[in-house]
Structure 1
Amino acid sequence: MAKLLLCSLAWFTFPSFADNKPLNSPVDYLSVLLSLVVVIAMVFMLGYLMRRFNVTQHGGGQMKVVGSMALGTRERILVIQVGEEQHMLGVTAQNINHLARLETPLEVPQASGDNFKNKLSQLMQGHKGKTDE
């Protein structure tokens, strides 16, 4: 899919490539340079969006991160849930230490997708109520 998009972008952006003519004018070079900048910007934007919306992590397994708190630049405290038990871990750049098993478990927050779905349905129901009046 991405290859097809880049090929179509190259076809419309670089008319001199479609005709198999060499780049002759500064406008052709500027077009190539601007197209390259657009492609690089799109790569960085997609990387930012993937990190922002946590696309790479899956939460459907047996282990979940219930909460975390940063203590320094590379030090964190994590509360993970394994089955029905919750454990507190200390994580540094060099190692991971088990700090404690929690006797009273923390409340597990809802997944962000479920939260968005609930908010959207509440907004839509509120909007329907206003139009029905």
Structure 2
Amino acid sequence: MTRLISLSGLFFCAFPVWAEVGDSMSILTTLGSLIFVVAIILVLALLLKKMRLPALGHQKDLMIIRQLPIGTKEKLLVVQAGEEQFLVGATSHSIQLISKLEQPLTSKSQAAEHPFAGQLNRFLKKE
């Protein structure tokens, strides 16, 4: 504790205007709290950026049936628009239509594609 007080004393000797504000521990507590809140905001912003939140409105006429990652930011997508399906290549900079599928792929059910999501939905429907 005395070491912390001596370090704060050195800090306030460098900034004498802050030493006049009040108790050094209250200023250190305030600065620590501020840094903590800013860090939490940055972490939450990073998490929200990494999470892929679904669109608020479900679009029934346009949806992704399948996707296959090719690289870090490249993927092949099978997109259904109405009754037609298209094979599309997507990168971080562009989207290219590769071809229209003559025989549409059937979409997998959510339980078969994501077993945990299916179990969670069944559990939530019971309650």
TM-score range, shorter chain: 0.5 to 0.7
Q: Which runs of 5+ in 2 are unaligned?
A: 1-19
Counterpart Cα distance in 2 of 1:64 and 1:33 = 48
Amino acid of the structure 1 residue aligned with 2:122:
N
Shift in Å at residue 90 of structure 1? 0.5
Counterpart Cα distance in 1 of 2:49 and 2:108 = 23
Shift in Å at residue 59 of structure 1? 5.7
Aligned to 1:100: 99
What do residues 4-57 of structure 1 show as CA deviations (whole Å, max 9, x unaligned)? xxxxxxxxxxxxxxxxxx7423212222222223322332343315743x3353
8 Å contact 1:50–1:56 — kept in the other structure? no
- Computing the radius of gyration from Cα coordinates, the structure with the larger value is 2
Shift in Å at residue 107 of structure 1? 1.0
Aligned to 1:120: 124
What's the TM-score once normalised by structure 2's chain length?
A: 0.57
Amino acid of the structure 1 residue aligned with 2:88:
L
8 Å contact 2:66–2:107 — kept in the other structure? no
What do residues 100-129 of structure 1 show as CA deviations (whole Å, max 9, x unaligned)? 2231323154398x843323346x6xxxxx
Counterpart Cα distance in 2 of 1:38 and 1:78 = 41
Shift in Å at residue 77 of structure 1? 1.1
Q: Percent identity?
A: 26
Report how many residues are paired. 100
The CA RMSD over aligned residues, in Å, is: 3.1
Q: Which runs of 5+ in 1 are unaligned?
A: 1-21, 125-133
What's the TM-score once normalised by structure 1's chain length?
A: 0.55
Counterpart Cα distance in 1 of 2:71 and 2:122 = 35
**Residue 33 in structure 1 maps to residue 31 in structure 2:** yes
